[in-house]
A and B are shown apart, each in its own frame.
Chain A
Amino acid sequence: MNMQTTTRLTTAEAALVEAFGAQVGDLPGNGAVIGTRDRLLDDLKKSGLPTRRIESWHYTDLKNLFREVPEANGSAGVSAVAPLIAGSSVLTVLQGEADAKVHAEGFSVSAYKDALSDGSAVKGLTALDKDDAIGRINGSFVRDGFSLSVPAGADLADPIEIQALHAGGQIHTRFPAVFGAGAKATIIERHRAETDAAALVSSISDIALEDGAEVTWILLQQQGAADTHLGQIRVSLGKDAKLRLYVINAGGKLVRQELRIEVEGEGADLTLRGVNLLGGDTHTDVTLVLGHNVPHTTSTETIRNVLFDRASGVFQGMIKVAPDAQKTDAKMACNTLLMSDDADFSVKPELEIFADDVICGHGATVSDIDRNHLFYLMARGVPENKARAMLVNAFVAEIAEELEDEKLVAPLEELISDWLDKHA
């Protein structure tokens, strides 16, 4: 490996480099994969972690915020938990390693480690651009995960639940998922800390919807109060494909969720819903880059944020409309409730439009609870703290309700209520 010593690395950067040196010997992968890992780490070393001078990291200065790499903790004992929805096919990743005992019905699944070992994973192990720190970290360190494939025409009655559970340490997972033409499925991706021990988690899901596929993908991030979670979801949508993507953040100390979505087929539709429940000292950043690349595609994005304590939240949402992507209809909204004077929220909803016959819009609001709403409830005898709780709950639970399917709505509502009970 070409050791470069020209740039001064921060403690965390140096620790990453060191960790790579220690782990590379037993990271899975054939020659091509190892070569790619080396290259990604080298790029990371050269450019360092991104700072606020890099526009896409403007609000999350990773170099400054990410201070320590926790010790790797390979042997921690964690075990699978009950799925959110009874009857789901459960795919478990414990401490970053896929549990091979999988019962798959109607779809095929294999450990991602296998794709690394036989080299078939190498194509996906790339950084999306020069500022893609998550792509680089994950690409260098990824150890396991699941490769999912739902065949064309399949209609899965029960959800597939991916459980990524850990007890601190370094966890790097990856979940490529391909949905064949016309396939219908619901996936729940849960990231959860089982202990308070600090963890560095990076995880990338590569989601490809072929023509006419209809997928609901729910990401639940419930990391511990000391954890760093660097997540990325890469999506490509084929012709007439429909994706409902729910991203719920309810944990972690330093969280960055990147959603990189390319709408590639005419008639495709994206419904993105985000809920950020932020408390304590968390810094949580959700960054969306959505490309409408062909004519006649639609998308709606709604992000709801509630902040308590000293939480700091970020939403960056960029909608790009390519030249000739006429008749694009994209609407984005980001609504934030600041429940504490020590909390802050920054939002940057961007539009980049190169076609003239489009309807694109974004809205953003930041405020406290509406006094009129509060008055309405209090005038009916609801005490103030309860009225507040009800309003906050309604503000975010609304998003869950949009899923319509009671089987999915109920556990999400419960998760939201539980979190609010603990923090409000």
Chain B
Amino acid sequence: MASLFNALPGAAAQGLIWGIMAIGVYLTYRILDIADLTVDGSFCTGGAVCVMLMLGGQNVWVAMLGAILAGMVTGLATGFFHTFMGIPAILAGILTQLGLYSVNLKIMGKANQAINVDKFDLLVSLRYIKNVSFFKNTIFIVTVMILVLILILYWFFGTELGCSLRATGSNDKMARAQGINTDFARVLGLMLSNGLVALAGALLGQYQGFADVNMGRGAIVIGLAAVIIGEAIFGKIFHNFGFRLLGVALGSIIYYLVLQLVIWLGIDRDLLKLLSALVVAFFLGIPTWKARYMKSGLGSILGKGKGR
């Protein structure tokens, strides 16, 4: 039991970092109605760029800004494939993700690059969880970052430009009829999303003390899990857009706490990704099941519905 409680603060910190990533996934998945698989690559791009810039002597803030910009470029690439070349969004994301594997290797020069917390002035680290001053605590710092990001996004999606992104995701035919350049909106949304995802990658790279070419594998699933958990638990209470984003971040924390619990219960770690995939698949299936078996399904069983 003690080992579980010892592990919880670290799990919460990781959950917060992945929460930023999940907010990025929320922007594409929920607002633009695109399942963007770029994130599996751009997450690592963020970590790689941040670590390499710091190893090159840059300040941590500059390094994280560089990571965000690099992430936005990956979103631009996917947006280009999707809009200019007419490739379906999901495939466009897969193409970018695959290409980024090489790019990430080239950025780092090898499969992983370590950054030592004792030699570099990192913003977050697994060493800054316990026995560290409150304001230097990773949990505190990432919490503040998430709140600031939510405030910025809340403002942005209330602007004319932000509303045009929401309209594009809600009904792109209507958006075009109202003079909105839906291609531009999609590209901008993908850039914003992947910028956030890369920032999360930059934070995780610092936190674990290295960037690794496989660090983003399955990121989209974790992001979706966080979005789904957040909506399932807080969807009924949080209606305001800002609170919904907060719900997603909380969903990510819950995901990591549960993960920690499952590990503590002694599950084979090799099975974790399979488990995550199944859980996410289950939750993604719920709307379909509801539609099929709750209304028309029940109706047709009772002989009253239209049936299929």
Do A and B associate with each other?
no
Which residues of A come within 8 Å of B, CB atoms?
none
Which residues of B come within 8 Å of A, CB atoms?
none
